[in-house]
Amino acid sequence: MTQEGPYAEVGRRIQGLRGKLTQAEFAARLGVDRKSVTGWETGKRLPDGSSLLVMRRDMGADLNYILGGGEGEFRVLSSEERTMVDFYRDASPAVRKAALGALLSAGHAAPGVVIHGKVGQSIAGNAEQSNFTIDMGKQRKPGGE
């Protein structure tokens, strides 16, 4: 029978974050030894700050959930989601507002919402106002027209 340590709940949440990765694979992603992961998951030790930061930065872990539990849950971001977050963070406030409006409108199937062309070309539709259009830089026609 395995005896649980004082941090067993934290260990279970870390194990959930690890998902299908082996302890060795998870440890390699964090830059630690596999024995460290075993210690965390058995509740005998807590991860150090640098390991927690990697969990947050590279795996999208909610550290409040990992360390404190509660109602929240962690979600690992896909590479596509990570790219979207990076672009969003680098965008101007106007572009952030437009992108959020487009996602909210499209997600709720608002009437009149149209997203067409390549990403970044044109978004048109209803974003809680009439005749809402965002033009985010259409491709220019050959010949500089």
The CATH number that applies at residue 55 is 1.10.260.40
Q: Sorting pLDDT into bands at 50, 70 and 90, what band is 74?
A: low
The alpha carbon of residue 30 and the mean position of all alpha carbons in its chain are separated, in whole angstroms, by 17
Strand-pairing partners, residue 123, are: 115, 134
Q: Sorting pLDDT into bands at 50, 70 and 90, what band is 84?
A: confident
Angle at which helices 8-18 and 49-59 cross, to 10° = 40
In this structure, the dihedral spanned by the alpha carbons of residues 112, 117, 123 and 125, taken in order and rounded to 10 degrees, is: -10
Q: Provide the 3-class DSSP secondary structure of residue 116.
A: strand
Domain range for 21 is 8-68
Task: Considering only residues 101 and 10, tell me which one the structure prediction assigns the higher pLDDT.
Answer: 10
In a shared domain, residues 87 and 45 = no
Residue 144 lies in a domain: no
Q: Kindly state the tokens that stand for 141.
A: 């026609």
In a shared domain, residues 61 and 97 = no
In a shared domain, residues 64 and 88 = no
Q: Provide the 3-class DSSP secondary structure of residue 135.
A: strand
CB atoms < 10 A from the CB of 67, how many? 17
pLDDT at 71 over 80: no
In a shared domain, residues 59 and 83 = no
In a shared domain, residues 26 and 54 = yes
What does the pLDDT look like over 88-132, one tens digit per residue? 889 898 888 888 888 877 765 445 545 444 555 444 554 555 555
Q: pTM for the full model?
A: 0.49
What does the pLDDT look like over 11-69, one tens digit per residue? 999 999 998 999 999 999 999 999 999 999 999 999 999 999 999 998 888 888 888 88
Q: Kindly state the tokens that stand for 136.
A: 């985010």
In a shared domain, residues 40 and 89 = no
Question: What confidence score (pLDDT) does residue 1 get?
Answer: 44
Nearest residue to 10 (alpha-carbon basis) of 61, 75, 69: 69
Give the total number of structural domains in the chain. 2
Residue 3 lies in a domain: no
Question: Residue written as tokens 């608002």?
Answer: 110
Residue 110 lies in a domain: yes
In a shared domain, residues 15 and 34 = yes
In a shared domain, residues 64 and 96 = no
Question: Residue written as tokens 């404190």?
Answer: 68
CA 106, CA 94: separation in Å to the nearest integer?
Answer: 18
